[in-house]
Amino acid sequence: MGKPTGFMEYKREVSVSEAPKKRIRHFNEFHEHLPKEKQQLQGARCMECGVPFCQAGMMICGMASGCPLHNLVPEWNDLVYTGNWQQAYNRLKKTNNFPEFTSRVCPALCEAACTCGLNGDPVSTKENEYAIIENAYAEGYAAAKPPKVRTGKKVAVVGSGPSGLAAADQLNKRGHSVTVFERSDRVGGLLMYGIPNMKLEKRIVDRKIRIMEEEGVTFVTSTDVGKDVKADKLLHDFDRVVLACGASNPRDINAPGRDAKGIYFAVDFLKTNTKSLLDSNFADKQYVDTKGKNVVIIGGGDTGNDCLGTAIRHGAKSVTLLEMMPKAPDKRAENNPWPEWPKVCKTDYGHEEAIAVYGQDPRLYEATVKEFIKDKKGNLAGVKIVRLNWEKDPATGRMKMSEIAGSEQVLDAEIVLIAAGFLGSQKYVSEAFGVELNERTNVKTEAGKYQTSVDNVFVTGDMHRGQSLVVWAIREGREAARAVDESLMGYSNLVVQ
């Protein structure tokens, strides 16, 4: 530990966000990060605990505590403090293939488990990570490093989201020849089209993809495996196949009037928005324009918040965000102690922007859709909602909801965005390869394994575990790569954690 008293001497400092009314004028990242000297002092706040919960990545009460990648957080925090930036990068890359992504979009499970956060403010680990990786690019440490020896083995990865990219990166470093197939026109999966540009600028994704190409990974875009390319061909042409197609089957809302024009799944809304931005800066009009419209978003998670921020940037007249669950407490409850993940109310960037633009929090808690109301032409005109009551079922001990009689109200709405989560992978890929699915429609494997029911076919990421975080996807990709490597070579020297 470089500074035993650092957590007492220095206050937590993080990047400054651009003012909401200013940042909604563009789709770029909007944080002004600390200069290197100040960031080093933030590294001094790390106590290098005897038991570093920040890197534990263990499950407590069904929630992850600490980093699932088991990042060597105390080590590189200390290296940041001492100014040894290159070694900090080396330690960070030992467990994380894509710190340029996680330092922008991860909810910072490490910080929630930080010991400093027990009685004060946690170490700004996520911002330290950002500083490490961006300094590495600036100084050339993050340049391509192609493998010196090739094994002669070929692996196909289907899907270029964070898990597929992590698997491809690891397998390529091992010396296998890797080809990644992506059905969209750009590489990145949800990193490219599922996360809006203001959270993760796409030049950052492209920057990493170029390095992977220089290291020998081949990317094939606009190719839908299971449709454009048969599964049998991949199994014939490659020694192993890794399925990393995500949990891209959106959960629908089956209420009367669902066929109204103006109802979209969040994933389609976000994809068309980013694609139009990248293709033409919106000049092609190939996106769902919310300008001057009343928008209702169903679902209060990260995706709902991203839809909120996007709709505001296009000039929506109003935006209402429906959440079925009750509002979380503003501070930790007694039954949610550290180092559990804090189940508290989060005001994210989209909520901040809505408050600034419309003068109020856009969220309606304990509410759900009763009916979609259409006009005479079949266009969406409004949404009838009903309030909910949650209470514990004495028989099962679980919480159950019931509608509150007489609580219905109608919201003006010309556009509805459904951000209610996902129900596993789309079946045509799993059917093409003949792999078994589990009861959650994810591809089935033995517990902790990545080999599917079909020889030489592996699975990873959301297609394997269900909808999850980018950091979990990277961990799955690394573990799947090790499993593939072992099946090819009889052993593996790939580091997972």
Residue 321 near residue 413 (C-beta atoms within 8 A):
no
The 10s digit of each residue's pLDDT in 60-81 is 988 899 999 999 999 999 999 9
Is 6-139 assigned to CATH 1.10.1060.10? Answer: yes
Among 154, 159, 152, 153, CA closest to 229: 159
At residue 86, the pLDDT reads 98
At residue 393, the pLDDT reads 86
Whether 2 has a pLDDT exceeding 70, the answer reads no
Phi, psi of 431 (to 5 degrees): -70, -35
Whether 495 has a pLDDT exceeding 90, the answer reads no
Query: Domain locations in the chain?
Result: 6-139, 154-248+423-489, 263-418
Burial class (CB in 10 A: 0-12, 13-18, 19+), 462: buried
Q: What angle do CA 127, 128, 134 make, to 5 degrees?
A: 85
Look at 23-37, 354-368, 392-406 and tell me which has the smallest mean pLDDT: 392-406
Mean pLDDT estimate for the chain: 96
Stretch 139-167: mean pLDDT: 97
Q: Do domains 154-248+423-489 and 263-418 have the same CATH topology?
A: yes
Name the token pair of 31: 């944080």
Whether 1 has a pLDDT exceeding 70, the answer reads no
The 10s digit of each residue's pLDDT in 174-192 is 999 999 999 999 999 999 9
d(CA 497, CA 478): 9
At residue 424, the pLDDT reads 83
At residue 4, the pLDDT reads 85
Confidence band, pLDDT 50/70/90 cuts, at residue 449: very high
Q: Which DSSP string do the residues of 14-39 spell out, in sequence order?
A: -PEEPPHHHHTT-SS--EEPPPHHHH
Confidence band, pLDDT 50/70/90 cuts, at residue 326: very high
Task: Please give the model's pTM, rounded to 2 decimal places.
Answer: 0.96
Q: Hey, CA dihedral for 196, 199, 203, 206, is it positive or negative?
A: negative
Q: Which DSSP string do the residues of 443-483 spell out, in sequence order?
A: BP-STT--B-SSTTEEE-THHHH-S--HHHHHHHHHHHHHH
Q: Which DSSP string do the residues of 224-245 spell out, in sequence order?
A: -BTTTB-HHHHHHH-SEEEE--
d(CA 291, CA 314): 5
Stretch 476-483: mean pLDDT: 98
At residue 239, the pLDDT reads 98
Percent of the chain scoring above 70 in pLDDT? 99
Stretch 438-446: mean pLDDT: 92
Q: Of how many residues is the chain composed? A: 497
d(CA 77, CA 377): 60
How far CA 210 is from CA of 133, 150, 304, in Å, comes to 16, 20, 31
Selected from 2.60.40.10, 3.30.1360.120, 1.10.150.120, 3.50.50.60, the CATH number assigned to the domain covering 263-418 reads 3.50.50.60
27 DSSP 8-state letter: S
Whether 491 has a pLDDT exceeding 80, the answer reads yes
Whether 295 has a pLDDT exceeding 90, the answer reads yes
- Topology of domain 154-248+423-489 in CATH is FAD/NAD(P)-binding domain (3.50.50)
d(CA 224, CA 158): 9
Whether 460 has a pLDDT exceeding 90, the answer reads yes
The 10s digit of each residue's pLDDT in 5-22 is 999 999 999 999 999 999
Name the token pair of 494: 């790939």
